Amino acid sequence: MPRPLEALIHLDALHHNLQRARDSAPDAQVWAVVKANAYGHGIERVFEGLRSADGFALLDIAEAERLRKLDWRGPILLLEGTFEARDLEWCSRLNLWHAVHHEAQIDWLAQHKTEWPHRVFLKMNTGMNRLGFTPDAFRNAWVRLSALTQVDEISLMTHFSDADAPRGIAHQLAIFEATCADLPGERSLCNSAATLRHAESPKVRGDWVRPGLMLYGAVPDYPEHRAADWGLRPAMTLRSRLIGIQHLQPGDTIGYGSRFTATAPMRIGVVACGYADGYPRHAPDGTPVLVEGVRVPIAGRVSMDMLSVDLTDVPHASLGSEVTLWGQGPAVAGQPTLLSIDEVAEHCGTIGYELMCALSMRVHFEVLHPHDA
């Protein structure tokens, strides 16, 4: 029998969350962002759940190729564009749309031989200061691109740094608007946070939104909002089982470094999940886990293959009991249970993005179709 740890992918949740993005940005088209192997979920595994998107956005040509192998004929956008001149051959061959964010990418296009002009997304740096042309250089880049026979339609894009936070998007939006005011082309501005929080304004939602995280059912602005507040459902459940039980007396300790010391007689459950699976090693005591759907705290350091939980609040737990590390737990008294990846991440000083992307190769995945229990 394989180790009991597994990651379940819920196709119905992906489909539902995509619909939530559409509801938040009516009339906009939706790029389903599937970079980083669909945020750790697996491109092939999520494809069925997200195939009603208008296009897929990612960064890696190898990942784009995987989408084409799934017979996806619709738009694919390379969010960082080309990394070198010969990437353009792949863009032509696979019919990829690509971001253009620096001058060398325009030089490469000017040298590129292709029968099919490329659709490009010209990126403006409106204050994030990661990728993109400054507002001063943007119009000149647009003029250069529009003179190239290798280029078809030019869309205009930017990315917000604080869509999930108090600073907000107004300062960046103003720069984008002022710089593109009289330029033709479709607009794309919103990641998940902007889609959820700011896309009621037509200027903000533009023609294409680019949600990633929310499709997987995590929230960009936790704990201000929780998944339920945004109507999102977790698309991944990481679950395992208890593979050991220990009875501790006061003064006994758990695991490496004896981080946790029992102050009373207690039962400890040992879970088949550790940092070699991608569970964060720095999860402190108190990080929540569900055992048989009941919240219990981690006690003691996470080790490579195992972690330990305090079973005081689940006296009926026993060897083989179901453990939910995050996602959808078993029903208790007829009620579904949930443990949000956002909450686990917060305990661990990180964000849901990092946890879902970090699951390791040895984790066994299973895709659950809507008709599965």
Known binding-site residues equal: 130, 304
Q: Which of 40, 212, 278, 293 is the binder for ligand PLP (CB under 6 A)? A: 212
Q: Which stretch binds ligand PLP (CB under 6 A): 140-148, 188-196, 316-324, 355-363?
A: 188-196
Smallest separation, CB 157 to ligand PLP (Å): 7
d(CA 340, CA 268): 23
- 3-class DSSP state for residue 98? strand
Residue 159 binds ligand PLP (CB under 6 A)? yes
Question: Measuring CA to CA, which residue among 1, 2, 3, 4 is closest to residue 323?
Answer: 4
d(CA 234, CA 291): 18
Size of the site for ligand PLP (CB under 6 A): 12
Residue 213 binds ligand PLP (CB under 6 A)? yes
Residue 220 binds ligand PLP (CB under 6 A)? yes
Q: Which stretch binds ligand PLP (CB under 6 A): 112-120, 148-156, 209-217, 232-240?
A: 209-217
Q: In the numeric block, which tokens belong to residue 168?
A: 């907000």
d(CA 161, CA 262): 44
Of the two residues 24 and 324, which places its CB atom closer to ligand PLP in the complex?
24
Q: In the numeric block, which tokens belong to residue 254?
A: 């758990």
Residue 211 binds ligand PLP (CB under 6 A)? yes
Smallest separation, CB 291 to ligand PLP (Å): 30
Residues with catalytic function: 35, 256
Residue 158 binds ligand PLP (CB under 6 A)? no
Residues 2-61 that bind ligand PLP (CB under 6 A): 33, 35
What DSSP assignment string belongs to 199-217? TTSHHHH-SEE---GGGGT
Of the two residues 128 and 276, which places its CB atom closer to ligand PLP in the complex?
128
Smallest separation, CB 239 to ligand PLP (Å): 24
Q: Which of 210, 233, 239, 241 is the binder for ligand PLP (CB under 6 A)? A: 210
Residue 172 binds ligand PLP (CB under 6 A)? no
Query: 241-277 as b/e, with b when 16 or more CB fall inside 10 Å?
Result: bbbeeeebeeebebbeeebbebeeebbbbbbbbbbeb
d(CA 192, CA 227): 12
CA atoms within 13 A on the CB side of 342: 21
Q: Which of 79, 189, 235, 355 is the binder for ligand PLP (CB under 6 A)? A: 79
Of the two residues 130 and 362, which places its CB atom closer to ligand PLP in the complex?
130
Q: How far is CA 317 from CA 202, 239, 254, in A?
A: 52, 15, 19
Q: Which stretch binds ligand PLP (CB under 6 A): 46-54, 141-149, 205-213, 267-275?
A: 205-213
d(CA 169, CA 181): 17
Q: Which residues bind ligand PLP (CB under 6 A)?
A: 33, 35, 79, 159, 191-193, 210-213, 220
